[in-house]
Chain A
Amino acid sequence: MLYGLMAYFDSPEKLLDALKTLKAQGYRRLEALTPNPVEGVEEVLGGDGRIPWIAFALGVLGVGLGLFLQIYTTLDYPHNAGGKTLLGWPAFIPVTFELTILTITVGIFLFLLYINGLPLASHPAVQAREYVRVLLDEYGVFVYASDPRFDLEGTRGLLARLGAEVEEVRRD
């Protein structure tokens, strides 16, 4: 069964040009695979502005958890420690701070995995024989065979014209 076509470009500029052309021609089911972050890719494939907001929300949650924990436990077992005020808030700063950071860190890490669809057991692009190249020094585009515009010869020709080496990816 044909999974799709893998195209290898030797520079990020070619990759960006190719992505723009493919998008302009109406291709929708494609992925860019790169060894490191490529600047400008979010303009073509769409960026993600959610991360800072999610982090902020997690931070608010963390502050709430931290303060709740300390206020609740202090009121539940009121204890005169050296004559300090029962709810002396300055003493609550360190724990609130640490719990805020802990909540954001763990939460945002899990969120990253979630939006990236990880962990993932297998991915069609990884089946490509030369796949390791896109983890080293080349910039790949994987066009899924399920794309409505996909046409084996036509797409292959288009990718080759854009300057790529093209490989068919099939299930063995």
Chain B
Amino acid sequence: MAHKEPHPDRDLIQGEWTEKTLVEKLLEPVEKPAPSPWKVVVAVGAALTLVWLYSLFVTFVKGLGTWGINQPVAWGFDIVHFVWWIGIGHAGTLISAILVLMRQNWRDSLNRVTEAMTLFAVLAAATFPLIHMGRPQLFYWVMPYPTHMALWPQYKSPLSWDVLAIMTYLTISTLFLYLGLIPDLALLRERSKGFRRKLYGWLSLGWTGNAVHWQRYRAVYVLLAGLATPVVISVHSVVSMDFAYGLVPGWHLTVFPPFFASGAIYSGFAMALTLIIPLRRWYRLEGVITERHLDWMAKVTLASGLGVAYIYLLEIFIAWYAGEPAEWAQQIWRMTGPYAPYYWAMMLINVVLLQTLWFPRFRRNLTWLFIFSILANVGMWLERFVIVVISLSHDFVPGNFHLYHPTWVDWALFLGTIGFFLFGLALFIRLFPPIAVAEMVHLFHRLRKH
């Protein structure tokens, strides 16, 4: 064969590998005994999951009076956390879907673990509106089914759009994750024994690697990627419309959909960095998740974070320029009221500290990147707190102003979902390879042999 220039993405897989050793390496998290940090994560995750179940139990038995919500702050921590978790989920779909469409080879090392992150984040998110209903056992009332009172859901309300958006999102991200897993499951089936072999056998649906099946599989995979992309954007836009449809000062901004979507990408990429940096170290995956990968992720975090920072400043400008007293009072309340420390902490992280990512020296410093990724998640949590709690606590009528104080149940529900998220992810990477094996081997083949 004629000489060819090395592939420009050649260093996406570093080190000396053959297909066999690469597969061995990628299957290590599943096939080798787990490293001790994994056990710590599982233990902490399981403990917090129990806390979560207990606080859910308290909520169900005693009711929403155990939460800190009041009038007018009827959307407390539950909606803060709903929006926060949904946002975190978005990076997974973006890495998987948009980067597939753009033929970005670097996604191959990251897509599996971030898709799993999406799945657990969306599951964690979905519990909040469910329990926020107060009578979660009646959740099916939001579904379109003929009742004896001939009532239907109100399809002109963003709250009912939300139900469909979240359910579609959960379905499409689960199917996308599963579809990507099928070839790897077949490989695991052939390499394992006993119960695991049965499990992978069932899950792999009898995939044989037939070349014709592969063609159809790729066609459907790319198609689902193309469909998942607008869904991601639509989901967070719909979430933002839950707010923007209301008349609360600070909410009725036409920029809410892009504001929420860029915030979601920002927090999602930050969470992906928080997960991938330790994963890469614990499982010694430096050869496949290279510094270049992390650098790119930091750049996407910077780009989406700048979108968020821009809209923070735009919000202030619009409040001033529109000259609407309640709107301007809301801005002043955010900056100087009792919640001002939250607002300024958010500004410090998402506007000031974010700027460090412009510099390669900071982007390539993994310690800083890890710390910043956690801070960015805190910053996005604060942003949702600002939007939900601070806006609601200060509406049009001074007699209505009321502060919000979360109770221990609110905190336990939040920490509990974090535990569930970590626990779920840890179990996931123990059962399924955290890096898509078939895709990596394919990439390896294209980079080294063509």
Contacts and interface: CB of A to CB of B under 8 A. Distances in A.
A120 B205 contact: yes
A136 B20 contact: yes
A61 interface: no
Given A94-B234, A120-B205, A108 B213 contact: no
A116 interface: yes
B112 to A, nearest CB: 15
Contacts of B210: 31-33, 116
Interface string B203-244: 001111111111111111001100100110010001001000
Contacts of B168: 98-99, 101-102, 105
Nearest to A49: B219
A118 B206 contact: yes
A37 interface: yes
A122 interface: yes
B212 A108 contact: no
A104 to B, nearest CB: 6
A101 to B, nearest CB: 5
B441 interface: yes
Interface string A91-130: 1101101110110111011001101101111110110000
Contacts of B441: 35-36, 136-137
Contacts, number: 176
Contacts of A70: 155
A84 B224 contact: no
Contacts of B216: 48, 51, 112, 115-116
Given A51-B219, A69-B144, A92-B155, A38 B211 contact: yes
B19 A136 contact: yes
Given A77-B151, A94-B234, A112-B216, 17 more contacts: A31-B210, A36-B445, A48-B215, A52-B219, A73-B152, A77-B152, A84-B156, A94-B161, A95-B160, A102-B167, A104-B227, A105-B171, A106-B175, A118-B205, A120-B208, A132-B191, A136-B23
B172 interface: yes
21 contacts: A32-B210, A36-B183, A36-B214, A37-B217, A52-B219, A73-B152, A77-B152, A88-B156, A94-B158, A97-B234, A98-B164, A104-B223, A104-B227, A116-B210, A120-B205, A120-B208, A122-B206, A123-B208, A132-B191, A134-B209, A137-B23
**Which secondary structure characterizes the binding site on chain A?**
helix
Interface residues of B, number: 59
B208 A37 contact: no
Contact of B179 (A76, A109, A140): A109
Interface string B19-44: 11001000000000000000000000
Interface residues of A, number: 61
A51 B217 CA distance: 10
A33 B441 CA distance: 15
B215 A32 contact: no
A33 B208 contact: yes
Contacts of B160: 95
A132 B152 CA distance: 53
